[in-house]
Structure 1
Amino acid sequence: MEFRRLGRSGLNVSEISYGNWITHGSQVEEEQAHACVKAALDAGITTFDTADVYANTRAESVLGRALAGQRRESLEIFTKVFWPTGPGGPNDKGLGRKHIMESANASLQRLQTDYLDLYQAHRYDHSVPLEETMLAFADLVRAGKVLYIGVSEWTADQITAGAELARELKVPFISNQPQYSMLWRVIEGEVVPASEAAGISQIVWSPIAQGVLTGKYLPGQAPPAGSRATDESGGKFVSRFLSRDGLLEAVQQLKPIAEEAGLSLAQLAIAWVLQNQNVASAIIGATRPEQVVENVAAAGKTLDADVLKKIDDVLDGHVERDPSLTHASSPGGAGS
C-alpha cells in the first residue's frame, strides 16, 4: 500500500480507501461485511469512509463493529453529514448547527470511537448560511471530536468560500469527496484547480464507475444477477452509463490496454484516477474479500503517457466533463 498526504495537512491516508456505501447494513450480510473489512486491513488499507445516511445509519454501526479491537491510532475513520437520517424530522437533515452536532455525536457512538479523523459535509446546503455550517464544524474540531473537516461534491466556488471561512476560523479544511473516473471527469475543469489553490485534496468515489469499468456489463446482455445495476439503491447511478450508446463496447476495448499494463480492468480504472496528483485516495467498495484484494493491487501503479493516450482515444465521445453537474448534485442546486 502507498500513502499520500491529504491536502496541505499532515494527515496520511492510504491510496486505496475502503467505503461501505450501499453494501454494509443493506446489500451485504454483516459476517461478509466484516470479512471485507478484514481483507482491507490485511491489504494495508488504513482509511475507512462511511456516512450516517448509508442504510439509514446501519452502515456506520456495521463498520464500527468490524473495526472494534483495532489500534485506533493506526486508522483514519471518515464519515459525513447532510442527508436525512432517523425518522426524518425537520432537523434530521442538512447542515444546520443542531443537525451537525447531533449527527456527529451519534456517528461517534455508532463507530465506537472518541473522535473522527475527518468529518465531511455530504453536500452543500443552500438553505443554511455557510458561516453557521463552518462554525459548527470548527466547534467540533475545538472539542476534540473531529480532527479535520472536508466536503463532498462541492463546486469550485463553494470550496473557495468554505476554505476562506476555515482560514478565518483556523480549522483544517483539507478534502473534497467527488465522483471521479475515466468516464466522469467533471471535477477536472474547475473543482481541481480551486482545490489546489485552497490546499485540499480529492478522496474520490466510484473510480470504477459503479462497476462499468470492470467490463462485467456486456453489450447487448442483461446486467449480471446481483450486480450494482440490479440493486434498488445503486441502480440509478449505473444507468447513466449503461444507457449511453457504444459505451459498453468502448469499455471492452480497454481490455488489451489493461493487459499490456499488467492490470485487470478494475485495477486500470483505479490506477487511472490516482495519476491525478490532486487525488489522495480512491474509495473502493466490496461485496467479497477477493474484490478488495484485486483492487488494492492498483496502489502505487504508474501509467505512462502512452497508456493514458490510448485510454483517451478509446473513450473519446463517452467522457462526461460538464462542471455544472457538480452543482446539480446538491438539493437546491441547478438541475436538482
Structure 2
Amino acid sequence: MEYRALGRTGLKVSVLSYGAWISMGYQIGVPEAAAIVSKCVEHGVNFFDNAEIYSNGQAEQIIGQAFKQLGLKRSEIVVSSKVFFGSGSSAPTARGLSRKHIVEGTKASLDRLGLDYLDLLYCHRPDPETPIEETVRAMNWVIDQGWAFYWGTSEWSAAQIEEAWKVADRLDLIGPAMEQPEYNLFHRKRVEEEYAPLYSKHGLGLTTWSPLASGILTGKYSGGTVPDGSRMTLERYKHLAQKKLVEKRRQIDLVDELRPVAGELGCSLAQLALAWCVRNPRVSSVITGATKVSQVEDNMGALQVIPKLTEEVVATIEAILAQP
C-alpha cells in the first residue's frame, strides 16, 4: 500500500480507502462489514469514509461495531464522516450547515460510530441558506473541542472553497484541508481544471468518490443489463439505471472498448479504472466500495496496475474516451 499526505497536512492516508455509502445498512450488516474492514486493513487500508446520511445513520453504527469487534487500534485508522443531509429526520434544524446542525450532527455521528473523535469531517454539500462564515466558525469549534482533527468539503465549487479560505484567513481560523469530489474516467473537469488553482494556493487534498462511475467502469452493465445484486436493483437507487444505462448509454459502449486495454495489462476493468484515479498525484485517496471480501481483493489489485499505466497506455485510454 502507498500512503500519501492529505494535501498540505501531515496526515498520511492510504491511496485506496473504503467507503460505506450504499453498502452498509442497505446491503450488508455487521458480520459482513467486519470481514470487509478486516480484509481492507490486511491490505494496508487505513482510511474509512462515512456520512450521517448513509443508510440514515445505520452505516455509521455498523462500521463502528465492526471496528469494535475487530479491536482496531484507533491511532492506526483514519475515520471520516460528513454533515449536511441529516440522518433521516424531517426537522428543518436537522440538516444543513448551520452551527446547530454541525455541532449536533457531529456529536450524533460520534455516538453512532462509538468514537471519541473523527479524523476528518466534511461539509457534505454547500449550504446556500447558511453564511459560509457561520460554517467556518462552527467547523473550527468542532476542531477546538477535539471532535475532529481536520475539516473539509464535498462537492463544493472552487469559488465556495476559496470563499471559505478567505473567511478563515480573515478570522485567523483553520480553512478546509480537503475536498471529496466525484472523480473517474468519465467525470474529470472539476478535479483536473476547476480545482487546479487550489492545489498550490491552499494545499487542497482530495479523497475522491465513485471511481467506478457507479459500477459502469467494472463492465458488469455491458449491453445495458442490470445483474442481480447490483446497486441499481436497490429500490432507493433504481434512478441510477435510468441515468447511467439510458441517458449515458454511450459510456457503457466505451467501457467495452477499454476491455482490450485491461486485457493487455492483465487486470480487470475495475482495477484499470482505480489505478487511473490513483495515478493523479493530486488525489490523496480513492474511496472504493465493496459488499464482498472478493471485491476488496479485486480493488486492491489495482495497486499492481499503477506502474503499468505508461504514457503510451494512458494515451490509448484517452483516445478511446475522446470518441464521439
2:230 corresponds, among 227, 232, 246, to: 227
> Cα–Cα, structure 1 residues 6 and 237, in superposed 2: closer, same or farther, change >3 Å?
farther
Q: Given that residues 148 and 172 in structure 1 are in contact (C-alpha distance below 8 angstroms), is that contact kept between their aligned partners in structure 2?
A: no
Q: 5 Å matches for 1:73-222?
A: 73-167=75-169, 168-171=171-174, 173-187=176-190, 188-219=192-223, 221-222=224-225
Kindly provide the CA deviation profile for residues 189-216 of structure 1, in whole angstroms up to 9, marking residues without a partner as x.
Answer: 2124334422111111000111110111
What is aligned with 1:4? 4
The one-letter code sitting in structure 2 at the alignment partner of 1:240 is: K
> Cα–Cα, structure 1 residues 238 and 137, in superposed 2: closer, same or farther, change >3 Å?
farther
Offset at residue 238 of structure 1 (A): 5.2
Matched position secondary structure for 1:260: helix
Matched position secondary structure for 2:211: coil
What is aligned with 1:58? 58
> Cα–Cα, structure 1 residues 83 and 315, in superposed 2: closer, same or farther, change >3 Å?
same
What is aligned with 2:263? 259
Matched position secondary structure for 2:315: helix
What is aligned with 1:332? none
* Cα RMSD, aligned residues only: 1.6
Q: TM-score by structure 1 length?
A: 0.90
Q: TM-score by structure 2 length?
A: 0.93
Q: Given that residues 210 and 238 in structure 1 are in contact (C-alpha distance below 8 angstroms), is that contact kept between their aligned partners in structure 2?
A: no
* Cα distance in 2 for residues equivalent to 1:84 and 1:78: 15
> Cα–Cα, structure 1 residues 315 and 251, in superposed 2: closer, same or farther, change >3 Å?
same
* Cα distance in 2 for residues equivalent to 1:223 and 1:110: 33
* Cα distance in 2 for residues equivalent to 1:253 and 1:205: 23
2:288 corresponds, among 279, 284, 287, to: 284
Kindly provide the CA deviation profile for residues 7-57 of structure 1, in whole angstroms up to 9, marking residues without a partner as x.
Answer: 100000000010000110112233212211111111111000000010111
* Cα distance in 1 for residues equivalent to 2:251 and 2:57: 35
The one-letter code sitting in structure 1 at the alignment partner of 2:214 is: Q
Q: Given that residues 80 and 121 in structure 2 are in contact (C-alpha distance below 8 angstroms), is that contact kept between their aligned partners in structure 1?
A: yes
2:244 corresponds, among 241, 244, 252, to: 241
Q: Given that residues 138 and 171 in structure 1 are in contact (C-alpha distance below 8 angstroms), is that contact kept between their aligned partners in structure 2?
A: yes
* Cα distance in 1 for residues equivalent to 2:124 and 2:258: 32
What is aligned with 1:329? none
Q: Given that residues 31 and 66 in structure 2 are in contact (C-alpha distance below 8 angstroms), is that contact kept between their aligned partners in structure 1?
A: no
Offset at residue 111 of structure 1 (A): 1.1
What is aligned with 2:311? 305
Q: Given that residues 78 and 117 in structure 1 are in contact (C-alpha distance below 8 angstroms), is that contact kept between their aligned partners in structure 2?
A: yes
Tell me, which stretches of 5 or more residues in structure 1 are unaligned? 319-336
Identity of aligned residues (%): 40
Kindly provide the CA deviation profile for residues 255-310 of structure 1, in whole angstroms up to 9, marking residues without a partner as x.
Answer: 11112223211011011111111111100111101101110122362311111111
1:250 matched to 2:250? no
Tell me, which stretches of 5 or more residues in structure 2 are unaligned? none
What is aligned with 2:299? 295
Q: Given that residues 161 and 176 in structure 2 are in contact (C-alpha distance below 8 angstroms), is that contact kept between their aligned partners in structure 1?
A: no
Moved over 6 A (4+): none
Which structure shows the bigger proportion of residues in helix conformation? Answer: 2
What is aligned with 2:279? 275
* Cα distance in 2 for residues equivalent to 1:255 and 1:93: 43
Task: Tell which has more relative contact order, 1 or 2 (C-alpha 8 A, sep 6+).
Answer: 1
1:19 matched to 2:19? yes
Q: Given that residues 57 and 85 in structure 1 are in contact (C-alpha distance below 8 angstroms), is that contact kept between their aligned partners in structure 2?
A: yes
* Cα distance in 1 for residues equivalent to 2:202 and 2:235: 37
* Cα distance in 2 for residues equivalent to 1:217 and 1:182: 16
* Cα distance in 2 for residues equivalent to 1:96 and 1:195: 27
